[in-house]
Amino acid sequence: MSDFVSGGWSLYVAVVTIAGLVGCLVLLAVASKRKVMAGDNTTGHVWDEDLRELNNPLPRWWVWLFILTVIFSGIYLAIYPGLGSYAGSLNWTSTGQHQAEMDKARAAMAPLYARFQSMPAKELAKDPQAMAIGERLFANNCSTCHGADGRGSKGFPNLTDNDWLYGGTLENITQTITQGRNGVMPPMAEAVGTAADVRNVANYVLSLSGSPHNSVAAQLGKEKFVVCAACHGADGKGNQALGAPNLTDKIWLHGWGEDAVIGAITNGRNNLMPPQASRLSPEQVHVLAAYVWSLSHTTRLAAQ
């Protein structure tokens, strides 16, 4: 792949581009030369006995339009990037233009965000203007995974149910948005034992939340659950410091049932949320965190 970004390819693109423009001018010069091929101003070709091809020159408006197009192309390539690695006299880039537009938008919003920055999450959650901005930030940056309503889907956490893998305080949510999360559960089948042991542990896990399970298998799997207790706790209530889910609340991120739990024990899980610090300013993160916090506190906020 490195061959396609070497200096040789840049030179090749520049030469081919310039040659194309010169070729257009040469083609125009050749086509504009009128050669009398017959005494009656025809090319000498006849079809259907009386249909003759005339040898008229190109219309002047078409010739000048062609010339202006080539001139415009040359000027454009001198100003903007297009000749290999040549940056153009303006040093314009799409990345630079995007950054300039983002900086302009942030400058325009700075006074508004300054007011929000001094407000705690509970006050922001009651501010219609702040929540409208937070909703747009969520739609543009979070809804792809968590859904437009924040209820998530299989493999993507529901942000409205107050069940938090890493904690649901404003500080925890801010850290999650800024730094991202990488939740890893290693495959544990070998540590648990045989396939029968894995099945027994899966049924014990289901029993912790009162989900349908095989009670005999669950009793047999209780002792083996000690392998899982290091992260999920002896009582199965999880550990937010590690992002280990609570196994007692009937909330299943990757699906529930014996097969789903066996799959998690056998294959492990790896969930990644990318950090958003490079995409959002601290002020935007503050408003977005307050909006996410409000999704699981709508009832309490309505009562206040």
Shared domain for 248 and 208, answered yes or no, is yes
Model confidence pLDDT, tens digit, residues 26-46? 988 887 776 666 667 777 778
Residue 93: inside a domain = no
Shared domain for 278 and 175, answered yes or no, is yes
pLDDT given for residue 205 in this prediction: 96
Q: How many structural domains does the chain have?
A: 3
Last residue of a domain, one of 79, 114, 131: 79
Longest dimension (CA), the chain: 108
Average pLDDT, rounded, for the chain: 89
Q: HSE of 30 in the Cβ direction (CA atoms, 13 Å)?
A: 6
Shared domain for 42 and 8, answered yes or no, is yes
* Contact criterion met (CB below 8 Å) for 186 and 268: yes
Residue 62 in tokens:
């078409």
Of the candidate ranges 60-64, 190-194, 273-277, the one whose mean pLDDT is the lowest: 60-64
pLDDT given for residue 83 in this prediction: 87
Burial-class residue 194 by CB neighbours within 10 Å (0-12, 13-18, 19+). exposed
Query: Distance between CA 301 and CA 304 in Å, rounded?
Result: 5
Letter for the amino acid at 151? R
Shared domain for 149 and 196, answered yes or no, is no
Model confidence pLDDT, tens digit, residues 228-271? 999 999 999 999 999 999 999 999 999 889 999 999 999 999 99
Q: Which domain, by its residues, includes 140? A: 102-180+274-303
Shared domain for 259 and 279, answered yes or no, is no
Task: Give the CATH number for residue 148.
Answer: 1.10.760.10
pTM: 0.70
Residue 108: inside a domain = yes
Give me the mean pLDDT over the 155-163 stretch: 92
Shared domain for 296 and 263, answered yes or no, is no
Shared domain for 14 and 59, answered yes or no, is yes
Give me the mean pLDDT over the 57-64 stretch: 84
